[in-house]
A and B are shown apart, each in its own frame.
Chain A
Amino acid sequence: MFSDLHIHLGNEHPERLVKVALRYGYSCIAVIEEDECFTGGGFDAEVGSSGKLSLLHGVEIRAEDVAELHRKIRKYRRSVDVLAVRSGDDSVNRAALKDKRVDFLAHLEQGDELNHVCMRYAAESGVAIEFNIASIIHSKRGARAKVLQRMSETLKLVRKYGANAILTSGGTLYDIRAPRELIAVAKLFGMEREEALKAVAETPLKVLKRKEEKDARLVR
């Protein structure tokens, strides 16, 4: 049971994403749209044969301040399966990691570095920290070194506070990588094999399950 919770559609047909994900051994993928160009999904209807694979739809929120973050979370939470927040300045990160409606914090290579306070919030609320492999694949030299450095430092805190970490491919169709390739790349910033395996298999499902439980509570 492998999941990739961060794939962008780009200009591709969702059917192709599904076919590639199935070929690569995934059983769950999430197509994430940025909030500025949110279309509302409806991919399931366009995809014929997604029987073996659950195709989720999500949004990636970018917020300048906490008020905007809360407003956007309220706006999107009910209409999407996966809600991600793009890492921004420290106050936004803290607010996002505190908020149980958020599924994961994306693009940790951008914005302010996550510190111990953020990580403690993340561990309490169960909001996952995303390690985005496309940011490693598409950067070079100095930029890549910075991304890897940021990731290995964040990983240290993730371990210390026991926060949830997930591995995602994080790009468009051609950036999808099979689970074992993600694990091999994750080794570059110090993730052990077992940890990485958990980050593509168990943890994403755990993160999604949080939402289902919450929904069930809301219905009652």
Chain B
Amino acid sequence: MTRLLPSLRGKKRYIVFEILSEGEVEKGEFLKELWNSLYSLFGETVASSCKLWLIDFDKEDDAFEGFEVYTGIVRCAHKKTDEVRAALACIPSVGGKRISIRVRGISGTIKAARRKFIKHGAVVATRVADRGT
């Protein structure tokens, strides 16, 4: 099968998020919650146009103030970042564990997303917060 030319593939954005959780969060359960959130907020048509895909989902080594910290990257269509951000924000709990999700940043490539927001996570995250929206 021939691959689609890069110029013909849809444009994407990579959203790096972090989860503060009161307990263990499983990747599969999180993904299910994210899709549910997207469906219930926007319906199946918009959810389909978001082209959502979970790239990374890892637990960070350091806990923060008694929270377990998870970071992840989701891929989405470049014009649907607001919708995906809202869907992320509207997840109250995963597998019965209460969570709070924050988007650390959005990038155009996976490489840049990891470099900017995952490697030196906490430090970069506060800088972005200072800069505001």
Contact = CB atoms under 8 A, between A and B. Distances in A.
Are A and B subunits of one complex? yes
Contacts of A136: 90
Contacts of B85: 180-181, 184
B40 A174 contact: no
Contacts of A140: 40
B100 A20 contact: yes
B133 A181 contact: no
Interface in B94-129: 98-103, 125-126, 128-129
A155 interface: no
Chain A contact patch, size range: 20 to 34
B100 A137 contact: no
Contact of A188 (B65, B86, B99): B86
A47 interface: no
A188 B66 contact: no
Contacts of A201: 132
Among A140, A173, A175, which residue has the most Cβ atoms of chain B within 10 A? Answer: A173
A16 interface: yes
A138 B92 contact: yes
Given A23-B126, A133-B89, A137-B91, 8 more contacts: A23-B64, A144-B40, A174-B92, A174-B93, A179-B132, A181-B85, A181-B103, A182-B89
Interface of A: 2, 15-16, 19-20, 23-25, 133, 136-138, 140-141, 144, 173-185, 187-188, 197, 201
